[in-house]
Amino acid sequence: MAKPEPAPAPAGTAQPPPAEPARPLPWRYESSGYMINLAARLFERALAERIAPLGLTTGQFPVLLALWERDGLAQSELVRIVRVEQPTMAQILSRMERDGLIARAADPDDRRRALVRLTARGWSVQAPAVAAAHEVNRLAGRGLSDAQTREFLAVLMQMSANLSCAAAPGPT
């Protein structure tokens, strides 16, 4: 019947002695990729429901972070910063323009480029949106020490770097 399987008991926490014959964790829970994917979806859901009242979506968030830090970037620069593919960025920017968060103006120096500028509304959501993101991070990190969180972030960075410049093993 396949038990409900509602999140494996938080590892590292003491558990009552298992009445069952110590069923081993399914393999997936020892796979970094599987667990990262799961955690990423949970983070996204948690953020989505908190920024929806602001009229924001999760995909817009990294773009806003970049623009709040430096307004007037071109699409190609946002692509490099946010690290999504160019058509993904084009699509997100279209919706942000539609929703009045940004405006695009042609770059006079290079007519191929379109500079992205925040509107008043784009600026106005900064404080509450950042607060929502902080709250999700705080909630997720409950029960973890600062050292654990820092080490966790360091591992994430190492893994991202490992996967960044790693195409599939070419059939040499």
Asked if 72 and 123 touch (Cβ cutoff 8 Å), the reply is no
Compose the 36-65 pattern: x for residues touching a second copy by CB under 8 A, - for all others.
Answer: xxxxxxxxxxxx-xx-----------x--x
Q: Which parts of 100-129 interact with DNA (CB under 7 A)?
A: 104, 107, 110-114
Residue 120 CB coordination number (10 Å): 8
CB of 158 to DNA, least distance (A): 20
Buried b (16+ CB within 10 A) or exposed e, 136-163: beeeeeeeeeeeeeeeeeeeeeeeeeee
Asked if 129 and 135 touch (Cβ cutoff 8 Å), the reply is no
Q: Does 3 bind DNA (CB under 7 A)?
A: no
Q: Does 70 bind a second copy (CB under 8 A)?
A: yes
Q: Does 148 bind DNA (CB under 7 A)?
A: no
Residue 162 to residue 154: CA distance in whole angstroms: 12
Asked if 97 and 113 touch (Cβ cutoff 8 Å), the reply is no
* Span near a second copy by CB under 8 A; candidates 16-24, 93-101, 102-110, 136-144: 136-144
Question: What letter does residue 91 receive in the DSSP assignment?
Answer: H
Q: Does 37 bind DNA (CB under 7 A)?
A: yes
Q: Does 84 bind DNA (CB under 7 A)?
A: yes
* Span near a second copy by CB under 8 A; candidates 7-15, 16-24, 90-98, 100-108: 7-15
* Span near a second copy by CB under 8 A; candidates 67-75, 94-102, 106-114, 116-124: 67-75
Name which position in 47, 64, 67, 92 contacts DNA (CB under 7 A): 92
Q: Does 157 bind a second copy (CB under 8 A)?
A: yes
Q: How far is CA 59 from CA 94, 101, 123, in A?
A: 12, 13, 17
